[in-house]
Each structure stands twice: as structure tokens, then as C-alpha cells.
A and B are shown apart, each in its own frame.
Chain A
Amino acid sequence: MSKSYFDETHTAIGHPKSTFMQWMLTVDHKRIGLMYAAVMFTFFFVAVATAFLMRLELFAPGAQFIDGDTFNQAFTLHGVIMIFLFIVPGVPAVLGNIVMPLMIGAKDVSFPRLNWFTFWLYILGCIVALASLFTDAGFADTGWTFYAPYSLTTSTNVIFTLVAAFILGMASILTGLNFLVTIHRLRAPGMTFFKMPLFVWGIYATAWIQLLATPVVGITLILAILEKYFGIGIFDPAKGGDPVLFEHLFWIYSHPAVYLMILPAFGIMSEIIPTFSRREIFGYRTIALSSASIAGIGYLVWGHHLYTSGMADTAKVIFSFLTFFVAIPTGIKFYDWVATMYKGKIILSTPMLWALGTIITFTIGGLTGVTIAMIGVDIHLQDTYYTVAHFHYAMLGGVVFLFFAGLHYWFPLVSGKMYNETHAKIAFYLQFVGFNLLWFPMFIAGYYGMPRRYFDYLPEFQIYHQVSFFGAVIFITGLIYMFVVFFKGWRNGKPSGTNPWNATTLEWHMPSSPPPLENHSKVPYVDFNPYEYHHGEPVVKFDYETMKRID
């Protein structure tokens, strides 16, 4: 049997003998992607645990078993991990790393050693972020938004978190940079931009946001540190500084960041829908270009987080107007996906179930985003659970669901094995039901005026929190179940072969399963579109020795 990337690797330094060191020093994009996944998986348990802790605490009004300060630290920890450690690097660092070079027929990313370095930078960031849990002052209690002046005056250890967010930001920038150069330079000959798979388009648009938005939050965090320790004055009202400026700077990054999360996830959707409809995608170009325009418009709408901040009313109107324009390209994508199912042959494998489930949940998430883009309505709903429900529907029901879809979809590619479909489907249904039970009641609670970041609440809201709690239990059960299914599949799943889904894109044209170290045996010449099907069969076939087309 031929060697796979599990058997051999290139390393950044030297030629270590031990398997462990080979993993630690590897520059292979597939291994790095896997290591990212492993680390995120670990943190995800921390974040889920804190989320569960919050739900448990909120089961009834009044203090149950933690105090207010602990609760504040809990949602900060939850938000910081979920955003900076998990969802921002998430899809690009895991699936982008593993799949994107394969999709464009490259041997690796443009700067493999930088990729390795970035991974360790990310680890460093994670360590710094969590280190403050073990210091006396404790983890930051600012919320993931670090609003000044609260973050400048609190006695908890915000500096760690700020520094960590900065380091993680650097890692994110470097990932984006690496991918941009890779996509520009290393596409297989013949593959023009409009012959790239849509996942690559998603990664490309994301990479631009990583590159050109992250520095703003980087410098904002530095300014906050300088303010806190050197008193430069810019966020300190006692010196004439304006706290609202901090909010501007923070959201200039953090709004584009939400599109940074969702665009590669949309890319996953665009891979899965045609594959499991067994037909060419509807409106390839509009989907590709809508990714780009979402990224572009996404830069201009951060102010919709500041409707009640004291920002000028004129600015609010402009931001609100611009915000609506993000929904249009997003809508186009959704219609294109649904149209792709028309006259196809819909195969409801697990990845497809996740994708279709996401069409429901993200539509709810997105449309409620549109609700709070309306200024007058958002003045009421801002900082209530309505917003919280919106972004969990968007992030969990959008990004994370699609991430899971992608994990199921590319699992056989990465591992060479198949998980148990039946069990994977049960896990999906559990999570889908649990998720909606968990978050839908929160829309209602928010509409009635339940503010977020509340440790304690008025008895009227109890019913919503209780339904939500049971949803969380079901959801987390399904979640654990899903990981068990993955684990079992990895341990003793059946060999999947190179192309178990009958898919068309290049990553499924590998000489062996799992793929060898340097990917395709030869670089193919790409003179075809990414999703060419004829009567439900992939059109393009290769001789895997020479990578010449044989159809």
C-alpha cells in the first residue's frame, strides 16, 4: 500500500525520528489542519462546559450555585473561546488548511513553514488566554467585547485576555496572508478564478477580511493596554477620551469578523449541495461574487452594533441603510442553493442533512439579523436575548452547523474511513431539535425585554430559560453522540475509497486514501468547471498516476 500523510511528513526543523516530534514540527498542511482540529476540540469542551454552566445557573431566577462575578467570567470565557479560539480560526484553519490546497491542486500552501509557525502562535495565544484562569485576579469579566472603560477599570486579569486576543489575531492574519498568496500563486495550470471550487472562493474572501480587518482590532487591543498601563487618555473620559471610540474600533473588526466566520461556511454549503444533488450548481458566478460582495459590504456596517451607544443619529441611519445590503447577496446565495436542488437527485446523506438543516437555522438567524438592523426596533432589542438568539442562530446554527457538515463531508478524505451513517443521522436530529429548543425561546424572552449578560432575572422569564435549558441538554447530548460517532469511525470505520460521495472537485481525485504527503501524484491541468455532472455522474475522470483526463 502506498504511504499516506500519516506515514511520512516534512518538518520545519531537522529530521526527527519520533512520531510525536514529527507531528509537532510538521509543515504538511493536512497535518496542521488536523492539529488545529484537535486543539479546538479540546477548547470546545471548556466553552461548552461554561455555556452549560450558564444555562444551569439561569434555570431559575436568583443565585443557584455560582455568584455574579463567576457568571460574568463564565460568559466572557465562553465568548472569548468561542470567538477567538474557535470560530474565527475554525473553518479556515481546519478545513481551509486541509482541503483548500487539495482543491486547487497545490502541493502545500505557499509558506508551509509560516503555516507551522502560525499554528504555534495560535497555541501560544490559547495558553495566554487560559493562563489567567489560574492567576489570583482570575479570568477577565468584561464580556468578549472588552468595552472601555469597564475593561480598563476592572480588577480581573484582562491584560492576559487582551494580549491573547492580539496574538490570536496575528495568527489569523498570517493564515489569511498565507491563503491569499496560495490562491493567487499555486492554482493548478488552467484553473482560473472562475474555475475554482466555491469553498476556495469562500476562503479567499475570508482571507481578505482576516488580512484587512484584524489589524484594526490588534491595534485597538494595544491601545487599550497602553491606556490601562500608561494612561494615554484616549478612552478615559477624565482626560477627554471617548469610550464610544473604542466601540467603533472594536466593531470595525468584529463586524467583518462575523462574515469571516460565515463565508467559508457558506463555501462548505456550496460544495455539499451540488454533490448531493448530483448536478451542477445553479449560478456559480453569482455565488462566487456574492461572497466577495458580502466581504466588501461587511466592512461598512459595523455601526449597527452602536445604535444605542450615543453615536450620532445620522451615522445610525447610514449604517442601517448599508446593513440591509448585506442581506441581498446572502439571499442570492440561498436561492441559488435551493435552485440547485431543482431537478437534481437529492441524496440525504449526513452532510446534506446538516446543510439543509442549516438552510433553516441560518435563515432564521439571518432574518432576525435583519430585524435588529432596523434602528427603531433594535433600540428596543439591543443587548437583549433577542440579539443573543440572533447570533447563536447565525454562529451556531450557521457556521458551526456547516462546520459539522464539512467535518462529515471531508471525514473520509482525511481519515480514509467512513463513520456510521445511521448514528451520525441520529446525532444530527438530536442536535437540530435541541438547538431550536435551546435558542428559539430566547427570541421571545428578548422581545419582552430580557437583557443579556444577566446573572439574575425577573421571574416572568423563567419559563423561557427552562425550555432553553432542556434544549441545551438535548443539544449537548447530540453533540457528544456525534463526536463518539466520529471517534468510532476513525478507529474502526470501513475504508471509504478516494471518492465516496461521487464528488467532482479535485480533492476527491487522490491517488490513494488517505492522501499521500504531497497530495496529487502530478499536478493536473484544469480545463473544466468545478461541478460538472452528467446524468448524476462526475464528468471529469483522471488517471491517478499521471493525472491526465481520461473521460
Chain B
Amino acid sequence: MDTNNTTIDYKKERVAYYKVLVGLLLLTAVTFIQPHLFMTESTFLAQMTIAVIKAWLIIMYYMHLKGDSLIGVMGIFSLVIVATFMVIVIGFDVANFQFGAESHITGPASAGVEHATPVQH
């Protein structure tokens, strides 16, 4: 089991840190030009994809998870759980929101023009 507690080569490790930083900075730059450059029809997806790549870099190199399969598996397990929550709630409940057209919170009133003060009739 890799405990990351062994002796290390300072120079080599430092170079790795800088390399990752450059990568992250580049990706940040990409987030800024993306809306004007590519996947403009779905900024959201593009942005989230970039975020996932950034997160992966941080986890693997800055947080030294590379080579640690136990924690890695546990981490994936927790992510899967969060993802499942999302899929169920967003994919099944909200996607089939019932009687939305008549409801106040989703209906035409949500344009916000109508005053939202609770009114008793």
C-alpha cells in the first residue's frame, strides 16, 4: 500500500507541481474562451467537462491519490452516490414535474411580473 510517506525527490516533485499548475491555468483560460469558441450550444456541458478535468488533476497530483486504490475506490463510491441522487431527482422527478403549467412556482407567474405577495382571496 502506497502511504505517500516515503522519502521523496524534492526537485522532481516540485517540477510536477509546476507542471500541473500550468495545466490548471491553461484550463482556466479555456473556460474563458470556450463560450466564444466551441460547444457554444452547450456552455454548461463544456464548462462542467473542463471542471471535471481540473478536478481530476488536482485529486491525482495535488492530493496524491495516484496509486492509492483504497481511497480511490471509496471516493468513486461517494461520487456515484451523489450522482445517483442527482439522476433520480433531476432526471425523474423534476424532469416530469407534475401540473407545472398550473403551479405557481413554475407557471406563468414565475415570469415574476405578477406581484408575488401572498394574497388571500
**CB distance B105 to A237 under 8 Å?**
yes
CB of B78 within 8 A of chain A? yes
User: Which parts of B64-106 form the interface with A (CB within 8 Å)?
Assistant: 70, 77-78, 81, 84-85, 88-89, 92-98, 104-105
Contact pick for B78, options A212, A242, A315, CB 8 Å: A212
**CB distance A237 to B104 under 8 Å?**
yes
- Which positions in B face A, CB cutoff 8 Å? 70, 77-78, 81, 84-85, 88-89, 92-98, 104-105, 110, 116-118
B101 to A: closest C-beta gap in Å: 14
CB of A348 within 8 A of chain B? no
CB of A113 within 8 A of chain B? no
**In the assembled complex, which residues on chain B have CB atoms less than 8 Å from the CB atom of A318?**
88, 92
**In the assembled complex, which residues on chain A have CB atoms less than 8 Å from the CB atom of B77?**
212
**CB distance A312 to B84 under 8 Å?**
no
Report the count of interface residues on A (CB-CB < 8 A).
Answer: 22
Q: A212-B78, A240-B110, A241-B105 are in contact. Are A300 and B84 (CB under 8 A)?
A: yes
**In the assembled complex, which residues on chain B have CB atoms less than 8 Å from the CB atom of A310?**
98
**CB distance B96 to A313 under 8 Å?**
yes
> CA of A339 to CA of B118 in the docked complex: distance in angstroms?
62
**In the assembled complex, which residues on chain B have CB atoms less than 8 Å from the CB atom of A10?**
none
Q: A212-B78, A313-B96 are in contact. Are A303 and B88 (CB under 8 A)?
A: yes
Contact pick for B98, options A184, A240, A300, A312, CB 8 Å: A312
Label chain A's interface by main secondary structure: helix
CB of A311 within 8 A of chain B? yes
**CB distance B98 to A313 under 8 Å?**
yes
A209 to B: closest C-beta gap in Å: 10
> CA of A239 to CA of B115 in the docked complex: distance in angstroms?
10
**In the assembled complex, which residues on chain A have CB atoms less than 8 Å from the CB atom of B93?**
248, 303, 311-312, 314-315
**CB distance B81 to A212 under 8 Å?**
yes
CB of A326 within 8 A of chain B? no
Q: List 7 A-B contacts (CB under 8 A).
A: A212-B77, A216-B85, A239-B116, A240-B110, A300-B84, A312-B95, A314-B93
> CA of A313 to CA of B92 in the docked complex: distance in angstroms?
9
**CB distance A300 to B105 under 8 Å?**
no
**CB distance A300 to B78 under 8 Å?**
no
> CA of A300 to CA of B87 in the docked complex: distance in angstroms?
11
> CA of A212 to CA of B78 in the docked complex: distance in angstroms?
7
CB of A261 within 8 A of chain B? no
Q: A238-B116, A238-B117, A240-B110 are in contact. Are A248 and B89 (CB under 8 A)?
A: yes
User: Which parts of A235-278 form the interface with B (CB within 8 Å)?
Assistant: 237-242, 248, 252
**In the assembled complex, which residues on chain B have CB atoms less than 8 Å from the CB atom of A248?**
89, 93
**In the assembled complex, which residues on chain A have CB atoms less than 8 Å from the CB atom of B70?**
184
CB of A299 within 8 A of chain B? yes
Interchain pairs with CB closer than 8 A, number = 48
Given contact pairs A242-B105, A315-B96, enumerate 16 new A-B contacts (beta carbons under 8 Å): A184-B70, A212-B77, A212-B78, A216-B85, A238-B118, A248-B89, A299-B81, A300-B88, A311-B93, A312-B93, A312-B97, A312-B98, A313-B98, A314-B93, A315-B88, A315-B92
- Which positions in A face B, CB cutoff 8 Å? 184, 212, 216, 237-242, 248, 252, 299-300, 303, 310-315, 318-319
**In the assembled complex, which residues on chain B have CB atoms less than 8 Å from the CB atom of A238?**
116-118
**CB distance A314 to B96 under 8 Å?**
yes
**In the assembled complex, which residues on chain A have CB atoms less than 8 Å from the CB atom of B78?**
212
Output the nearest chain B residue to A301 by Cβ-Cβ distance: B88
**CB distance A314 to B81 under 8 Å?**
no
Which 7 A/B pairs are nearest by Cβ-Cβ distance? Answer: A312-B96, A315-B93, A315-B92, A314-B96, A240-B105, A312-B93, A238-B116
**In the assembled complex, which residues on chain A have CB atoms less than 8 Å from the CB atom of B104?**
237
> CA of A532 to CA of B31 in the docked complex: distance in angstroms?
61
A46 to B: closest C-beta gap in Å: 34
> CA of A184 to CA of B68 in the docked complex: distance in angstroms?
14
B118 to A: closest C-beta gap in Å: 6
> CA of A530 to CA of B104 in the docked complex: distance in angstroms?
60
Interface centre among A184, A252, A300, A315, by most B CB within 10 Å?
Answer: A315
Contact pick for A312, options B85, B92, B116, CB 8 Å: B92
**In the assembled complex, which residues on chain A have CB atoms less than 8 Å from the CB atom of B89?**
248
**In the assembled complex, which residues on chain A have CB atoms less than 8 Å from the CB atom of B84?**
299-300
A352 to B: closest C-beta gap in Å: 36
Output the nearest chain A residue to B99 by Cβ-Cβ distance: A310
A291 to B: closest C-beta gap in Å: 16
A59 to B: closest C-beta gap in Å: 38
A121 to B: closest C-beta gap in Å: 22
> CA of A248 to CA of B90 in the docked complex: distance in angstroms?
11
B81 to A: closest C-beta gap in Å: 6
**In the assembled complex, which residues on chain A have CB atoms less than 8 Å from the CB atom of B94?**
312
> CA of A46 to CA of B85 in the docked complex: distance in angstroms?
36
Output the nearest chain A residue to B84 by Cβ-Cβ distance: A300
A23 to B: closest C-beta gap in Å: 35
**In the assembled complex, which residues on chain B have CB atoms less than 8 Å from the CB atom of A303?**
88, 93
A508 to B: closest C-beta gap in Å: 31
> CA of A450 to CA of B7 in the docked complex: distance in angstroms?
69
Output the nearest chain B residue to A319 by Cβ-Cβ distance: B88
